[in-house]
A and B are shown apart, each in its own frame.
Chain A
């Protein structure tokens, strides 16, 4: 009888020590390895096009992602287009809304180009560029790194001599788009098709 109680006591004590140690470890880990960022903001940010253009009224894609969490509408991203609105609606379980911009203008892929003869080297566009895609120094000519430019147009406004313009992004010389095959009406929007994976 006493043996039974002893074994039980030892078990309870042993497990108690283990759980206590685990608890201390976990509470320590929770403080030590705490991650500040909100995972929902991260996943919203991942859906945004990262042009950092500020057309949504926020100073970049991540600030807009934060604003969406606190109730901003999801249709304010023109570069993302309707597709992004749909995906955001999907992610957040909200009803999808039409894009708050002209979809035609929004869908064009553009880059900024500096008319180099006219550039006076004021560095104002360099300071405005959200992705550091303009290089140059004071009183020296500036230029845009095409591959890094997101076409956000934030550099157009600050230029005192209006020497920056937006052009359609230049394509590779051997670029081609395969022709769309003819579509049979009955094969579209079949009930078997599942939207977004």
Chain B
């Protein structure tokens, strides 16, 4: 018997900001499949899960679901439509760096040939079986970070949280998943919960999504699952959808600095990831994702189900974008997304929103130490102090101020009256910090090897010396004996 409890949040977000949501723009039209583009582009090293290896050859015909890239973490990325590979060439990628990086270019042929290398697997499932399937079906965190999901499925997990907060303004992709793909999402969550022995599935959802909430309630009550569900309705405040923030809001657990939720046995997943998992178990690799196309320059803002690798320009065209106004678009939300001018790049599994707004350029003024950022910071840091340390190249000081705990949510950017790009500073600082830590590890290992070598050389030299001494002694002995013998023989 399914148990369902709906409650309001009991703990409240410290810090955070109220931002204009703009979510209604993209929910006026129903979510539909986009028409298949002529060309799909898959970046080899930026598809999520680390740098990849190519699994196909130029000219090869592929079906929908044929693995084409194996990334460093072992996840296989599949071709999202049937066609053939025309080239492997450097193209701009949808990534913060906007780098030119080798991409697989696939020319679609409009047929719906499917690769059937994954067979549907039936219940009950073992967790190792699910992990293997998630790897083969290319399941990544679809929320935006693209963390390989199966790496989080550890034995000690006791609570599964579905992150339906979607606190970023403009984004409605998760909202759409929760409305039209509810069944798959709940199914994926139940399978994962059974395999990991999770008793309670918690769904955190912001109170600005009544339609999704209603749909989830209905689906849970209709399902035959024997898990207990708990829906926590939380206040609409940015960034309640951050992993750490959501754990606090739903469970009242504050994560210690440096630990991830999974270290405490809490698993947080995006609705889309769980829906993709349910489909993967049915034998369908992740080839599509729901993406929000919105902003003031979009004629028909809405959500679409787009094949991975669809060029951004194609999606914008289908949404009737006003191209003459668009110089660059924001990929991801306005808070944590990045601006990109690479309109011909293909979307990846991590792209959840294309936002075409006029980008306001502010002049940056000096920090006046007003402290607004400290109030807005959801992790109780002092962004103005961090900024001071980082702008003076003082990483140690920044670390002391808690740079490692920054979640780069950019709430501080939003309230800064001087328009200082604080989050950019922190991103750079965190990067430099990681580099410094890596260099320290390399130095430590070099030192160990150097010391071991010195010790080995010393030991060898010593052994050599003692051997020589022994030989010399032997020779001396022999000489003495010979002399004695001679003395004896000569009367």
Interface-facing stretch out of A28-36, A116-124, A183-191: A183-191
| Min distance, Cβ B436 to any Cβ of chain A, angstroms | 10
- CB within 8 Å for A60 and B51 given contacts A49-B443, A176-B96, A186-B366: no
A3 to chain B, nearest CB (A): 60
Q: Is A104 on the interface with B (CB-CB < 8 A)? A: no
Question: Of all chain A residues, which has the CB nearest B439?
Answer: A49
Supplied contacts A51-B446, A61-B450, A177-B431, 12 more A-B pairs, CB within 8 Å: A45-B447, A50-B443, A50-B447, A61-B447, A130-B453, A172-B50, A173-B45, A173-B101, A176-B99, A190-B392, A193-B392, A193-B397
User: Quick one: CB contact mask for A174-186 with B, threshold 8 Å, 1 for yes?
Assistant: 1011111111101
The answer to whether A148 touches B51, judged by C-beta atoms less than 8 angstroms apart, is no
Query: In the complex the two chains form, is A174's CB within 8 Å of B421's CB?
Result: no
- Chain B nearest Cβ from A35, distance in angstroms: 16
In the complex, chain B residues 83-139 whose Cβ is within 8 Å of any chain A Cβ: 95-97, 99, 101
Taking CB atoms, residues of chain B closer than 8 Å to A147 are: 442
Contact B453 A197 (CB under 8 A): no
* Contact A184/B366 with A192-B388, A196-B396 known, Cβ cut-off 8 Å: yes
For the complex, is A162 an interface residue (Cβ under 8 Å from B)?
no
Q: Which residues of B contact A150 (CB under 8 A)?
A: 442, 446
A131 on the interface (CB 8 Å rule)?
Answer: yes
Q: State the Cβ distance, B285 to closest chain A Cβ, in Å.
A: 22
* A133 in contact (CB, < 8 A): yes
Could you tell me if A179 and B424 are in contact, using CB atoms closer than 8 angstroms? yes
Q: Give the complex CA separation of A184 and B419 in angstroms.
A: 11
Q: Known: A148-B446, A173-B101. Contact between A181 and B453, CB under 8 A?
A: no
Say whether B425 faces chain A, with CB atoms less than 8 Å apart.
yes
**Chain A, residue nearest B393 (CB):** A188
CA distance A60 to B100 in the complex (A): 40
Q: Does B427 contact A (CB under 8 A)?
A: yes
Structural contact, B364 and A184, CB atoms closer than 8 A:
yes
A193 touches B50 (CB 8 A): no
Q: Are B392 and A197 in contact (CB under 8 A)?
A: no
Residues on the B chain within 8 Å of A190, using CB: 388, 392
CA distance A133 to B447 in the complex (A): 12
Do B394 and A194 touch across chains, with their CB atoms under 8 A apart?
yes
- Does A52 belong to the interface (CB within 8 Å)? yes
Interface residues of A in 127-151 (CB under 8 A from B): 130-133, 147-148, 150
Complex CA distance for A152 and B451, rounded to whole angstroms: 16
Residue from the list A49, A174, A187 in contact with B391, Cβ < 8 A: A187
